[in-house]
Amino acid sequence: MSRLFGTDGVRGRANADLTPDLALRLSIAAARVLGAVDHRPVAVIGRDPRASGDMLAAASAAGLAAAGVKVIDLGILPTPAVAHLTALTGADFGVMVSASHNPMPDNGIKFFAAGGRKLPDEVEDAIEAAMDDPAPLPQGDGVGRIARSVDPVESYIDHLVAACPHTLDGIKVVLDPANGAATGAAPEALRRVGAEVITINADPDGLNINEDCGSTHMGGLRAAVVEHGAHAGIALDGDADRCLAVDANGADVDGDAIMAILALAMREAGQLRGDTLVTTVMSNLGLHQAMGAAGIKLEVTGVGDRYVLERIGEGGYSLGGEQSGHIIVSDHATTGDGTLTAILLLARMAATGKSLEELASVFTPAPQVLVNVRVTDKSVIDHADVRSAVALWQAKLGSDGRVLLRPSGTEPLVRVMVEASEEPVAQSVAAELVAVVEHAMG
């Protein structure tokens, strides 16, 4: 039986894989595990604006209340805001209904422990096991209540403004919030710290979240930055825990480049604890080389920002993230926060007077090819032919390249990543590995 939880919570096609019944049972189980305290447990719950969010958030809140939890409904709010408010309110745990960067028909449910931290695997496993718990639910005054929070967005914006190290006066930025959860909070926060903000894809209707926009479709942002003569562009995803950027020329600045810029800024300010950056196996070899040249150590984890967070916590580090744009600055957040990342990145531009292109030039990426292969069974990566092909090509590329195959934690995909000293070589190797995967599926 496959594990219910993926890389980032429970995710699937809304009303097919992820039904109100599943949301109800999952939330009851979560309440039994995360709400095992000596008082009436309290949980906050938020969602992104996708159409199925009302349905699944209502089912989740009902499950929590049925298990005796006092529920504070935050409404539509970014994932990092839910994490922040879990900590700020002293809630026993938090719930976010979102499928992040996935297309609109999908949705997901993710949980935060007390303090706004993501759950380790063993706690997720305990929640999954508790779904079969036959214990009776509370009755009478043991049933929980559901209340609406008063202006949670304002509390989150205040937190972002307080984290800004330098005014953004004079910075013009184009912001693409992906018709998602940060459509209100992100532009307001950027304006309050001094930026001139032009927004695109900022009219969510429940159906257009992530649709040809945001961090997964950046063509519109590139064009808008050039059209408006902006200093930079910022792309968030649907729940705003990711941030990618575009420089004034319309060139992409990915999570690796953003981490390199922030690592150098934080070290200069004495804030990069252990002179260490935590990242995942997906980060480019160029990041390793750039940080090595600067005397900054890299700690490498498996894919998923929660593994980055775990390592940050274990080592007492202050910065980590993923190439995809999940950036964690632990002095200000317990999870990836796209708007916070944008503020810190733009503040570095303002403080140094340097363009984003100049700041990003510290990082020269090795040619990298990433291909998503749709599969019916993600265990195909363990097929003998696939493993043999990966070993063969890694040996051939040697220290000048890298091969990584991994299953997506959120979609029926195998991700094939190849780095090499030259782009055509990376393309060729990736194509051969894709063919091997497809052949192994029969």
Closest CA to 239 of 169, 105, 336, 166: 336
pLDDT averaged per 10 residues, the chain (length 442): 81 96 98 96 98 98 98 98 97 98 96 95 96 95 95 95 97 98 98 98 98 97 98 98 98 97 98 97 90 96 89 97 96 96 98 98 91 92 94 89 86 91 93 94 81
- Rounded distance between C-alpha atoms, residue 98 and residue 413, angstroms: 19
C-beta of residue 332 within 8 angstroms of C-beta of residue 160: no
Rounding to the nearest 10 degrees, give the CA dihedral for residues 269, 313, 12, 81: -50
- What element of type H or E holds 263? helix 255-268
Identify whether 355 is a catalytic site residue: no
Q: Provide the whole-model pTM.
A: 0.90
Q: What is the amino acid identity at position 312? A: I
What's the length of the chain? 442
List binding-site positions for Mg(2+).
100, 237, 239, 241
Out of 52, 60, 98, 100, the active site residue is 100
Question: Strand, coil or helix: what is 150?
Answer: coil
For 177-271, where are the E strands, in sequence order?
Answer: 196-199, 232-236, 243-247, 252-253
Q: CA-CA distance, 372 to 431, in Å (whole number)?
A: 11
Say how many CA atoms lie within 13 Å of 297 toward its Cβ: 9
376 to each of 182, 381, 413, 430, how far by Cα in Å?
Answer: 34, 12, 8, 20
Q: Do the Cβ atoms of 48 and 183 come closer than 8 Å?
A: no
Q: What tokens were used for 366? A: 């090795």
- What per-residue string of b and e applies to 277-300 under the rule 16 or more CB within 10 Å gives b? bbbbebbbbbbbebbeeeebebbe
Q: Classify residue 321 as left (phi > 0), alpha (psi -120 to 50) or beta.
A: left
- Report the alpha-carbon distance of residue 37 to residue 47 in Å, rounded: 25
Domains belonging to the chain, first-starting first, are 10-150 (3.40.120.10), 155-360 (3.40.120.10), 368-440 (3.30.310.50)
Paired residues of 137 in beta bridges:
none
The Cβ of residue 376 has, within 10 Å, a number of other Cβ atoms equal to 8
62, 48, 152, 148: which is closest to 104 by C-alpha?
Answer: 48
Nearest alpha carbon to residue 27 among 72, 55, 52, 57: 57
44 neighbors 35 (Cβ within 8 angstroms):
no
Amino acid at 271: Q
Residue 2's pLDDT is 66
Annotated binding-site residue numbers: 100, 237, 239, 241
Per the CB < 8 A criterion, the answer to whether 31 and 67 are in contact is: yes
Residue with tokens 């009302």: 54
